[in-house]
Amino acid sequence: MAENRRQSIRGEKRRLREGLSTTEVERNSRAVVEHLSHMTPLLKASVIMGYIAIDNEIDVWPFLEQCLSQGKVVVLPRIETVTNRLVAVRFIGEEGLRKGRFGLMEPEGDAFPPELIDAVIVPGLAFDMRGYRLGYGKGYYDRFLPELRPGTLTIGVAHSLQVADEIPYYPHDHRLAYLVTERGVIPCENGHR
């Protein structure tokens, strides 16, 4: 029953996101980047994990460029072929990116220790106000986030139309501390680790 509801929410939010125009995605992404740029807990982070947007996801790249210009370390996700797990890899420049699984641009290099990451900006298909998220159903972030040290800042980013009333969750699902949409920063109920 819960899995059927999760799949229904995934499908609905994916369709809504796919229906956004390029202009809407760019406008919402600019607003989210502006909100991220003023989040005090995020400003204190030295090592930040982001992602490269696909399929109308919020584009956080301008924020990651700001971080790089401030001397912060930026790490990006890569799916390891052998273990089928998500790892973080330090971004050293566009020449260090290659097309990986699922056609995503991924960084080359050694895995970065997850316990050294201060903040993770997490994409997804759907989020709720309690900090639960639905990704694409492969569980990569659900397996990766528990590897972070306690207290690591976790922030979901999405278009406001991706926010669901309530996402059915499993015990292994990891709750995020904040959700950021074009409308603002939302501290998630009990999502802090």
One of 3.50.50.100, 3.30.70.100, 3.40.50.970, 3.40.50.10420 is the CATH number of 2-187, namely 3.40.50.10420
Annotated binding site: 6-10, 52, 57, 133-141
Distance CA 119, CA 148 (A): 9
Binding residues for substrate: 52, 57
b/e code 138-174 from CB counts within 10 Å (16+ = b): eebbeebbeebeeebbbbbbbbebbbbeebbbeeebb
Region of 109 (left: φ > 0; alpha: ψ -120 to 50; beta: rest) is left
pLDDT at 71 over 90: yes
Per-residue pLDDT tens digits for 28-59: 999 999 999 999 999 999 999 999 999 999 99
Secondary structure element (H or E) that encloses residue 79, with its range: strand 73-79
Q: For residue range 128-172, list pLDDT tens digits in order.
A: 999 999 998 888 999 999 999 999 999 999 999 999 999 999 888
* Positions at the binding site for ATP: 6-10, 133-141
Domain range annotation of the chain = 2-187
Single-letter amino acid, residue 84: N
